[in-house]
Amino acid sequence: MIFKKVPQLWKNFLIGIIIALLPIFQIDNWLPHALLSHYNYPVDSKPAIFQKFNAKVENINFTTTDNIDISGWWIPSPKNPSEHPTLIVLHSLGGTRQDFLKFNLPIWEQGFNLAVIDMRSHGESGGEYFTYGFHERKDVSRLIDFLEKHHQDESQNIALMGISAGGAVAISSAAYDKRIQGLITISAFADLNNTIKKQVPWLPSFWRNRAITRAEENAEFNIAEISPINQIKKVNCPILIVHGTEDRYIPFVNGKKLYDAAEGEKSFYAVEGGNHSTVLDKGGEELQEKIVEFVRDNFL
């Protein structure tokens, strides 16, 4: 009688194992997706802040080398655009070109042309995946091509500023395209692999590596190739690295590592008390003036 029950016992055991492993399989699918994708926030076509600053805005639309449509805004300087440098700003992961206008427009007001885009798979831009600079660096080059074609006089002196994951893209872009003459990073990570490890410390390394490999295959990119700490060594233009001292998401040490790895002319600015979400507010006017000073020192 007992022998007749064994097959059912084994069946129950296997069912139990499968049920126990279901969360693991979900993680295996979730992590690659979380690395590459995010909620796509909408963009307000006419943010009220433009009216507040009396800013004239033109739409930017161009196509990447792999046929993805990119959308953005061109905001010419209110003071003789052809005589002032252009600042390109890249938003953070999951953000849009609209996110940092409150911080950027006071900088623009002091005599800068401003170009902001939705990076691929963000906002109104196309694309399924975000690759932390692997494909996006070419997108930035296409943006500069667009500016040279449509705003030739204003695109002679270009500085690039990236925030968080946008900072990683900015580093790879400055290493890739020598037309970028100034680089500013705010709260950027030094290495994506280590950042993932810190944010999911409970995940075994073999599983993390497997998820990263799957993400690389899905989006056709290579994480190691665009590691910011390696890419920044290839940047020849002046660099300003900004980081909040209380950042727990991308710890302060990331900024110091990037600074140490950078070669040539460089400077570091610590925002005291700033964490990953408050660094711009904490930095405030003093940080804005630091950015203005950095760009003017290198272009004027």
Q: Span 191-195, mean pLDDT? A: 89
Q: What is the pLDDT of residue 198?
A: 83
pLDDT higher than 50, residue 66: yes
Across the chain, mean pLDDT equals 88
pLDDT band at 26 (very low <50, low <70, confident <90, very high): low
Which tens digits make up the pLDDT trace of 217-233? 988 999 899 999 999 99
First to last CA, the chain: 92
pLDDT higher than 90, residue 199: no
Domain formed by 46-191+227-299, architecture: 3-Layer(aba) Sandwich (3.40)
Pick the more confident residue, 157 or 198.
Answer: 157
Identify the residue whose tokens are 């002091």: 110
Task: List the one residue out of 14, 109, 132, 113 whose CA is nearest residue 73.
Answer: 113
Q: Provide the b/e sequence for 102-122 (b: ≥16 CB within 10 Å).
A: ebbbebbbbbbbbbbbbbbbb
